[in-house]
Amino acid sequence: MAVDRFIKIGDLKANRTRSHPCGSPIPSWDLETAKGQIMSWVRTEDIPKNEWERLKSPDPNDPEHNLHAVYAVNYALKIAGAIPGRSYTAQESARISERALWILTKDLRQVDRSTSQSLFLRDAQRYLYGTLGEAWPRGEAWPRKYIHDKFLVPGGEAWYNLGLTRFKEMHPEKGPPKAGNPLLKTVPKF
């Protein structure tokens, strides 16, 4: 069932409509180049011009937008210390994801007006919020609605839900937390 929700990277390469320099959703270890690539995508992205446009989400089946969001998530996770192929406890993964959220926010979304309005960076941020669970950041007393209203811009709900699904996979209701790696290996298909 979960396999149907993701696009294989080979399919993405075959179906893209314009030239895309990045075939992998995980940046190389040259993170300065990766950041430059992300900023290049922001410069060419159609940025919302008003509140109505901000409320709209990009086509959830746009593989290019989804690849850009995944790449930005993985960039932030790698800066935060995630290593491909390594297994992390649920607690370690949450720590890395929280750090990645602040890295993505500070180093990518708050660079200038265009980065703060970027829809794929917004979706990457929404995903990282979801990976921290509904009760983050203040424990059970701080419900998701407050987080949604206060800290998240409209749109991109599917990305938050995808992150929340990841959180629930690592923190099952029954049984102990599971180990895993926070890096996204595939591009989601909604």
Tell me, yes or no, whether 81 lies in a domain: yes
Q: Quickly state the pLDDT bin for 186 (edges 50, 70, 90).
A: confident
Contact, 130 vs 101, CB < 8 A? no
Q: Quickly state the pLDDT bin for 1 (edges 50, 70, 90).
A: very low
Share of the chain above pLDDT 70, in %: 73
Share of the chain above pLDDT 90, in %: 42
Q: Write the pLDDT tens digit of every residue in 108-149.
A: 988 877 677 888 998 999 999 999 988 765 444 434 443 433
Residues 6+ apart with CB under 8 A from 156: 57, 119, 122, 123, 126
Q: Quickly state the pLDDT bin for 37 (edges 50, 70, 90).
A: very high
Q: Please report which helix (H) or strand (E) contains residue 187, including its range.
A: strand 187-188
Q: Measured between alpha carbons, how far is 155 from 149 in angstroms, rounded to an integer?
A: 12
Mean pLDDT, the chain, integer: 77
Burial readout 119-139 (b: 16 or more C-beta within 10 A, e: otherwise): bbbbbbbbbbbbbbbbebeee
Residues 6+ apart with CB under 8 A from 71: 22, 25, 26, 27, 34, 37, 38
Q: Measured between alpha carbons, how far is 81 from 84 in angstroms, rounded to an integer?
A: 10
Among 8-22, 80-94, 96-110, the range scoring the smallest mean pLDDT is 8-22
Tell me, yes or no, whether 10 lies in a domain: yes
Tell me, yes or no, whether 9 lies in a domain: yes
Q: Quickly state the pLDDT bin for 24 (edges 50, 70, 90).
A: low
pLDDT at residue 55, rounded to an integer: 67
pLDDT at residue 73, rounded to an integer: 96
**Residue 60, preceding bond cis, omega within 30 degrees?**
no
pLDDT at residue 11, rounded to an integer: 42
DSSP assignment, residue 107?
I
Q: How do 187-188 and 6-7 pair as beta strands? A: antiparallel
Domain that holds residue 32: 2-44+57-188
**Mean pLDDT computed over 149-175:** 78
Tell me, yes or no, whether 51 lies in a domain: no
Tell me, yes or no, whether 52 lies in a domain: no
Contact, 162 vs 189, CB < 8 A? no
Q: Measured between alpha carbons, how far is 20 from 71 in angstroms, rounded to an integer?
A: 13
Q: Measured between alpha carbons, how far is 190 from 184 in angstroms, rounded to an integer?
A: 15
Residues 6+ apart with CB under 8 A from 36: none
Among 16-30, 35-49, 93-107, 159-173, the range scoring the smallest mean pLDDT is 16-30
Tell me, yes or no, whether 165 lies in a domain: yes
Given a cut of 70, whether residue 74 has pLDDT beyond it is yes
Tell me, yes or no, whether 38 lies in a domain: yes
Look at the chain and report how many structural domains it folds into. Answer: 1
pLDDT at residue 110, rounded to an integer: 83
**Mean pLDDT computed over 79-106:** 94
Tell me, yes or no, whether 158 lies in a domain: yes
